[in-house]
Structure 1
Amino acid sequence: MTLILAHRGFAAAYPENTMKSFMEAAKAGADGLELDVQMTKDGELVVIHDEKVDRTTNGTGFVKDYNLKDLRKFDAGCHHKTLVKIEPIPLLEEVLAWLSETGLVCNIELKNSIIPYEGMEEKVISMVRDFNLSEKIIISSFNHYSIVYSYRLAPEIEIAPLLSEGLYMPWIYAQSIRAKGFHPHWRAAPDEIVKAALESGIEVRPYTVNKDSELERLFKVNCSAVITDDPAKAKKIKTKIKQAY
């Protein structure tokens, strides 16, 4: 059964990587979330995709240059005029506390390819363990050194390399770094790659799958999961395909 993972929450309709977006994704019937982690100047883990706050908030500058209390003053929902309440950039701790009550799975993407946040892996793992969420978490990154390091620190927490380009026999690569799955761009996940990986016991969770035709294709091939901005639409398509087969 293909899981639906809400990319930065229900990002198609709500401000990405906010508690509002995560809660709405759960209401829409997502099986889990995908979120991004950066680190503040005072070493706190926060959930935001970009290294800078400019695109998603009413602030400017790098996340790494702000202390948490100043970063939390920005509104991550400022581009959504319908929201009356300010949506602060969430702490990872706050998301995990909520998550631990839901049963949802969560893909935590470490955003440490551009800025090598020192100690990020240790902090994320420690927090995941504190909330007893090791079974529900997948740690991914484009920085494959980081996820291998994460696996060495916590072999009980699943890791998955992110792949923006097609890779020859990616399931072999995943096995070589002790990953139980990989997260390719949807263009790098044609049917034959998905099928061969699944036959080798390796999970495939493509991102960011928003086109109806691609969602249909991946549901039909029984892909492990899809990472999508619109969990509500994905759920409708999944139900339709289930009924047809």
Structure 2
Amino acid sequence: MLQLGDEVTLYSVVFVLVLLGTRSPVWTTALTVSLYLFVAMFRFPQVPSSRARQVLHPLRGTVGSGRVSVVAHRGGGHDAPENTIVAIREASKNGATGVELDLEFSADGVPILMHDETVDRTTNGSGPLCQMRRSELGNLDAAAKHRLSDTFAGEKIPTLEEAVEECIKLQLTIYFDIKGHPDEAAAALKEVYKKHPVLYNSSIVCSFEPTVIYRVRQSDPEVVTALTHRPWSLSQLGDGASRFSSPWKYSWMTVLDVMLDWAHHHVLWKLCGISAFLVQKNLVSPEYVQYWAQRGVEVVAWTVNTKVEKDYFQELLQVNYITDSLVEDCDPHY
């Protein structure tokens, strides 16, 4: 629930900015009240905290006292080919609480597991997913570019249904990461939740894009959801390099980054009714965890890939984290 201090600060800032821009007390009041009414009328409430906690803190695979959950990023992309059935199995074997899986779609609309919009980086194929049918994708080797390609040679790109069935069998929590396609993703997830009701208590839908989360909640308000956030994500790549060669475009995207960061922390989380906030690890501190705890939202850190970092999140912060490897230190997989 949005705290009173947040509420007053949010609408006070809006009021002052609009007043400075319009010089009209009437228009300023009208626009501020309209924003308030919009958020009040169209926001989704958070799912019951007891169910959100069941998803975020299942008994299986929890670390230490059972308070911290460890989630394998893309199924554990360092330990096995990412977003594959064998990765899910390896994650379970290595003690993960759950797996984070990326949802994409083939040219014929079949929901599959894939992080990128092309198959080039991870398979022995080439080309965009939007031009490849499920039958074509089924002929590719999803382990071809992995460091352990000899061990896992011939691994296939799984469908969403195949991955869900495997996770349910292994009692793994699923973090569905949705990169785009809000309408298609909402429809596909609604179908899979209808077929497997256990997912309401064992999965969470996450996305960098608030429109995706809002559409999922529209389709099924009972789904536990989370927003994913990394500071400067619009202007910089995961390794900190600029996304743009143009200084003007980079500067403009930096401004948008500041606005997006503010919106995530003050408006979007409430509008979507999220239960968790998945955030890049460098932003997480005791104060930051407390900030979200006061709003009934849990922090999940990513991507935590060294023993020192894992000890920090497990022992000191006691915060769930997402990792590329359950067995050794490794570099992050962007």
- Normalising by the smaller structure, the TM-score range is 0.7 to 0.9
* Residue number among 307, 315, 318 corresponding to 1:222 in the alignment: 318
Secondary structure of the residue aligned to 1:205 is strand
Matched-pair contact (CA < 8 Å) for 2:83–2:102: yes
**What's the % identity of the aligned pairs?**
27
State which drifts further: 161-170 or 131-140.
161-170
Render the CA deviation track for 1:18-61: whole Å, top value 9, x for unaligned. Answer: 11111000011100000101101110001010010000000001
Post-superposition offset of 1:232: 3.5
Which runs of 5 or more structure 1 residues have no equivalent in the other structure?
235-245
Q: Does the 8 Å CA contact 1:31/1:104 hold for their aligned counterparts?
A: yes
> Which of these residues, 75, 84, 91, is aligned with residue 9 of structure 1?
75
What is the letter of the counterpart of residue 205 of structure 1?
V
Alignment of 1:105-124 (within 5 A): 105-112=173-180, 116=181, 118-124=183-189
The answer for the alignment partner of 1:128 in structure 2 is 193
> What pairs up with 1:130-209 in 2 under 5 angstroms?
130-132=195-197, 133-165=199-231, 167-168=261-262, 170=265, 173-209=268-304
User: Contact 2:183 / 2:215 at 8 angstroms: preserved in 1?
Assistant: no
Is 1:58 aligned to residue 131 of structure 2? no
Instruction: State the distance in 2 between where 1:106 and 1:22 align.
Output: 10
Letter of the 1:107 counterpart: Y
**Is contact 1:171-1:182 (8 Å) kept?**
no
Residue 240 of structure 1 is matched in structure 2 by none
CA 1:139/1:117 → structure 2, altered by over 3 Å: closer, same or farther?
Answer: closer
Q: Paired residues, what number? A: 230
Q: Residue in 2 aligned with 1:104?
A: 172
For the structure 1 residues 212 and 110, does the alpha-carbon distance in structure 2 shift closer, same or farther, using more than 3 Å as the test?
A: same
Matching residue of 2:51:
none
Matched position secondary structure for 1:119: helix
**1:22 counterpart (88, 95, 109):** 88
| Residue 111 of structure 1, CA deviation | 1.9
Give 1:128 deviation, angstroms. 2.4
Secondary structure at the aligned position of 2:186 is classed as helix
Structure 2: give runs of 5+ residues left out of the alignment: 1-66, 233-260, 330-334
Q: TM-score, normalised by structure 1?
A: 0.87
Q: CA RMSD in A?
A: 2.0
The reply to whether residue 76 of structure 1 matches residue 142 of structure 2 is yes
More strand by share: 1
Max Rg structure: 2
Query: How far apart, CA to CA, are the structure 2 residues paired with 1:84 and 1:2?
Result: 30
Distance 1:176 1:122 in 2: 20
For the residues of structure 1 that align with 2:85 and 2:142, how far apart are their CA atoms? 10
Cα distance in structure 2, aligned partners of 1:81 and 1:160: 33
Contact 2:88–2:166 (8 Å) recurs in 1: no
Equivalent AA in structure 2 for residue 126 of structure 1 = E
Shift of residue 119 of structure 1? 2.0
Residue range with higher mean Cα deviation, 97-106 or 33-42: 97-106
Mark the CA change 1:20 to 1:144 in structure 2 (over 3 Å): closer, same or farther.
same
Cα 1:190–1:173 shift into 2, 3 Å: farther
Q: Following the alignment from structure 1 to structure 2, what is the Cα–Cα distance between the partners of residues 54 and 226?
A: 28
